[in-house]
Structure 1
Amino acid sequence: STDGIVVDGRMIKRGDMSGPKSARMILQNPTVDTAVFEVARGGILREGLGYDRNDVAVVTNVSGDHLGLGGIDTLRQLADVKGVLVEAVPRTGTAVLNADDPNVARMGASCDGAVIYFTMQTEKGEPGFDRVDGHCGRGGAAFVLRHTPEGDQIVLRHGPRTMPLLYTHLIPATFGGKARMNVANALAAAAAGWASGAHLHDIRQGLRTFTTSFFQAPGRLNLVEVGGVRVVIDYCHNVDGMRALADFVNRMMSDNGTRDGRAIGVIGVPGDRRDDDMRDYGALAATAFDEIIVREDRNPRGRAPAETAAHVLAGIRGARAGGARTTRADTILDEMTAVKAALRRANPGDLLVMCVDDAIGVYKETMAAAGHGLGTTAFADPGELEAPEG
């Protein structure tokens, strides 16, 4: 993945390992029975997949992130790149595709194997629901949501049959169903597990026991309590990510029907994104956060200092002029300085969300603020995440 290579719970190499060389490294390891790869757009463009076929391919979405890089300027072109995964599925394999994204759904036509759809849409007339309805009417399979008096339920539809799996609020990674992006991820994960031959009760147990703790998913909605302040650490770095994060923040802040406390955001976007994307990122953040600190990544990716932050800040100011929530926006370019300032600013009852570049450094700073000496407990020290490369 982009975090590193992990074999049997042990990180053997840290860094961005989402390319074909890393895939070959895993496949040459005789102790590995099942491999799960995060496949990056850049690696496909440079060298391909790094292997001949995948038994299961999962494509969750095609978003505008990375447009303008590597000769890819449109969503259709980016979808064609990601579609290579589906084209590598053999007749005995399966593609798991998001029925709500038309650029993803159409990849099913290029799949030699079976197709399992997943959808968040629940009403007839919605494109994803209708696509799944037709697919299952032809004997296909899909993982869907079903509204019930007890809450949303993940259900497997297979032809005319339906098999309930789990209520979304019982999945820790969804924060009681508030993290809608992780509800979608749970649908995709359940479909991938079922396509791999896992029983539904094993899939159910996996979803119920996986959390977004720093150790299971570093930089993915890691929640830490610091003196009555809820602190969330997340890698959110693009427009679609911020759209999902803003929805999550608004749901977290309206737990009992009223908005209590402030939502404070520390945000930043990589320098190789388009100017318009940076401004859109800032504008979306302004719809969720009461106060924002804009930072920059350590690697500016070709930008002058403060240039990226200026574009994000312009988006925030434009949204504020249109009535967005944010009342205060500051620029602190250094990430750790921004994190310390946000931790000092937050009061009990506030929600502090930090969109990070250096997840480990921010986590350590947060734990220090919580009064944990680094390295004194297993929770306070990332441990294997600091293993030397190789």
Structure 2
Amino acid sequence: MQALPYRHARRLTGPNVYFADTGTALESAAGQVFDLDALRRWDALVREAVARLGWPAGARYRHRHASGATLAFSAPLDQLHIATALNIWAWWIASASPAEPLHAPGDAATWDIALAMRTLQASAAAEARPTLLALQRKARARALPFLLDEDELTLGSGSGARSWFVDELPDPAHVPWPRLHRIPTALVTGSNGKTTTTRLLAALCQAHVGDTAYSCTDGVFFQGQALDSGDFSGPAGAREALRQGQARAAVLETARGGLLRHGLAIEQADVAVVTNVAHDHFGEFGVHDLHMLAQVKLSVARAVGVGAHLVLNADDAFLRTQSTALSCPLAWFALDFDQPLLRLHRALGKPTCGVRDAHLWLALAGIEHDLGPTVAMPLSLGDRARYNLGNLAAGALAGALLGIAPGTIARVLVHFGQDPDDNPGRLQQWMFGSTRVVVDYAHNPEGLRSLLDALDASRRGGRLGLLLGHAGNRQDEDLRAVAHVAAAYAPERVILKELPGYARGRDADSVPALMHAQLLADGLDPQRVQLQPDEVQAARSLLAWASEGDLLVLPVHELANRAKVVALLDGMAASGWHAGDAVPGRRPD
């Protein structure tokens, strides 16, 4: 049986990297051979089918890249299933796929275009939801969030929202439009620092207006309580946060995966933040370089309209370069408040934030505000965590653009991070005598390097022990790059962990094997490297190895495992554990 000519076809349910509307996107099959004429044939087939279906002649996107092609086009909200089927059908024909044609009932015939058109027209008529589209038009006219999933439609957000089951939609004339509104909403994306900045900004909103909902890679939270646990950094998490009926503000972590798979959950935000762009996730959805990855991150700009701002990192060359193509209002942050771009921006009366003379400064509406010494801000780790200085600046600037007073921002910054629950899994530390243990989420080369630098790992007094592993959804060179960074700090012990639930199509042991080979290639003594298939047991093994004065760095990636490791460390701290004591629950290696 021949392989299918595509590997991933999906609905785009909101503004996305390709265009500002809803639609569909398809990734061609890995290794599929085709020429540029195939892309032109796809375009012609889609254009003709869209016209025959009576849909608006919207955007079409075709992009050839190192792993194939991405093909996308816009379509009405109620026709996304049909549009996805049309996308598959058009590529099947255009690429001259040798795979056996689809024969299931309702599939468009790849051998008869006229028959296919009749099938698609019948399916489109059956899927039509005129009431849904009328509600969407009314909501857009009022700049109201329109939150739709398979089961529920919500108009408005937070305390200004009302929801209906999708099979019980109201007549637009019967919707209580005057009672609906949207709450202040922020989007946060970037390669590193997303979750920390999201949590910080949520804390700022909580101090400013009270009840704040936020979604991130750890779950959905409201009033300090977890509503759901897991990775909710995509549209589903955003919708859940925005549907909290008592919420007065929302902060939505907006990760690359959700942006590429489905787009944004909302069409309008009050502020959006891009923390940075770093080498990560190459090879997925047509993203093979930092230029394209920056475009993905900057797709949040589609939700930045009149009166809103896009907050960008002026220390990031790719963001500086690509910002010139943006039409939305910009605000810049940097580690240096007097960085040339920030000075120029301030000269125009525009907002900036950064560090000057070891203080965090905010410029807003032509006035400069001293937010206090950064060394007094727990996130800065005594000014050693430079990446968190950037997160502090990004969060403070975004908060100010949401209307939060500088005094309120300053008060939050000197407290946020004191409590481990403020930012769990990010730079969490325990001291066992002179042995220091740190739990973090560092998951790419830049993140790991920044973490180890913040911990002065290269100037340590004792030994360095490091937990190392990764999910399988990275290219081989990306996995090797993480190991290469680790080797540069000459750790005395590396425990390579497997993440069985995150193999992402690889053999279970292939990721540790790649990293192991790179560590040895970089000169690490094989006796210093061990393999442990269980993430929690790997942490226990490293703790059992520790001596007084050692630094143990534990990047723990699976949420449930992190909770177990944190509970283990809390229990050990409560019992007065010291290096050399037995580690609770440890199995023999």
TM-score by length of 1: 0.85
The alignment status of 1:297 with 2:507, answered yes or no, reads no
Which letter maps to 1:23?
A
Q: What is the CA-CA distance between 1:227 and the residue it aligns to?
A: 4.4
1:76-225 paired onto structure 2 within 5 Å: 76-109=291-324, 111-121=326-336, 129-147=339-357, 152-158=358-364, 162-211=368-417, 213-225=419-431
Which letter maps to 1:50?
A
What is the match of residue 307 of structure 1? Answer: 510
2:487 to 286, 291, 297: 286
- Which SS does the other structure have where 2:515 is aligned? helix
Q: Deviations over 1:198-226 (max 9, x none)?
A: 11111111111111644221210111223
Q: What is the CA-CA distance between 1:30 and the residue it aligns to?
A: 2.0
2:263 to 26, 48, 64: 48
Which letter maps to 1:47?
H
Which letter maps to 1:134?
L
Closer, same or farther: CA 134–326 of 1 in aligned 2, 3 Å: farther
Q: Is the CA contact 1:286–1:326 (under 8 Å) kept in the aligned structure 2?
A: no
Q: What is the CA-CA distance between 1:342 and the residue it aligns to?
A: 0.6
2:535 to 335, 355, 368: 335
- Which SS does the other structure have where 1:365 is aligned? helix
Q: Is the CA contact 2:434–2:548 (under 8 Å) kept in the aligned structure 1?
A: yes
Q: 1:84 and 1:368 mapped to 2: Cα distance?
A: 44
Query: For the aligned residues, what is the CA RMSD?
Result: 2.3
Q: What is the CA-CA distance between 1:14 and the residue it aligns to?
A: 1.1
Closer, same or farther: CA 174–290 of 1 in aligned 2, 3 Å: farther
Q: Which moved more, 1:24-33 or 1:36-45?
A: 24-33
- Which SS does the other structure have where 2:251 is aligned? coil
Q: Which moved more, 1:231-240 or 1:312-321?
A: 312-321
* Larger RCO (CA under 8 A, 6+ residues apart): 1
Q: 1:94 and 1:215 mapped to 2: Cα distance?
A: 29
Q: Deviations over 1:306-327 (max 9, x none)?
A: 2111211222223337xxx998
Q: Which moved more, 1:101-110 or 1:333-342?
A: 101-110
Q: 2:408 and 2:402 mapped to 1: Cα distance?
A: 12
Q: What is the CA-CA distance between 1:28 and the residue it aligns to?
A: 2.5
Q: What is the CA-CA distance between 1:7 and the residue it aligns to?
A: 0.6
Q: Which consecutive residues of structure 2, in runs of 5 or more, have no partner in the other structure? A: 1-215, 577-589
Q: Which has the larger radius of gyration?
A: 2
What is the match of residue 382 of structure 1? Answer: none
Q: What is the CA-CA distance between 1:371 and the residue it aligns to?
A: 4.6
What is the match of residue 277 of structure 1? Answer: 478
Q: What is the CA-CA distance between 1:133 and the residue it aligns to?
A: 2.2
Q: 2:226 and 2:428 mapped to 1: Cα distance?
A: 19
Q: Is the CA contact 1:212–1:220 (under 8 Å) kept in the aligned structure 2?
A: no
Q: What is the CA-CA distance between 1:134 and the residue it aligns to?
A: 2.0
Q: Is the CA contact 1:96–1:188 (under 8 Å) kept in the aligned structure 2?
A: yes
1:20-59 paired onto structure 2 within 5 Å: 20-59=235-274
What is the match of residue 562 of structure 2? Answer: 359
What is the match of residue 71 of structure 1? Answer: 286
Which letter maps to 2:567?
K
Which letter maps to 2:296?
V
Q: Deviations over 1:274-316 (max 9, x none)?
A: 1111111111112233322111213222221321112112222
What is the match of residue 230 of structure 2? Answer: 15
Identity of counterpart residues, as a percentage?
Answer: 33
Closer, same or farther: CA 213–236 of 1 in aligned 2, 3 Å: farther
Q: 2:574 and 2:336 mapped to 1: Cα distance?
A: 43
Q: 1:30 and 1:364 mapped to 2: Cα distance?
A: 32
Q: Is the CA contact 2:337–2:353 (under 8 Å) kept in the aligned structure 1?
A: no
- Which SS does the other structure have where 1:169 is aligned? helix
Q: Is the CA contact 2:220–2:240 (under 8 Å) kept in the aligned structure 1?
A: no
Q: 1:314 and 1:239 mapped to 2: Cα distance?
A: 17
Q: Is the CA contact 1:60–1:104 (under 8 Å) kept in the aligned structure 2?
A: no
Q: 1:369 and 1:312 mapped to 2: Cα distance?
A: 30
Q: Which consecutive residues of structure 1, in runs of 5 or more, have no partner in the other structure? A: 124-128, 374-390
The alignment status of 1:348 with 2:548, answered yes or no, reads yes
Q: Is the CA contact 1:95–1:111 (under 8 Å) kept in the aligned structure 2?
A: no
Q: Is the CA contact 1:295–1:331 (under 8 Å) kept in the aligned structure 2?
A: yes
What is the match of residue 432 of structure 2? Answer: 226
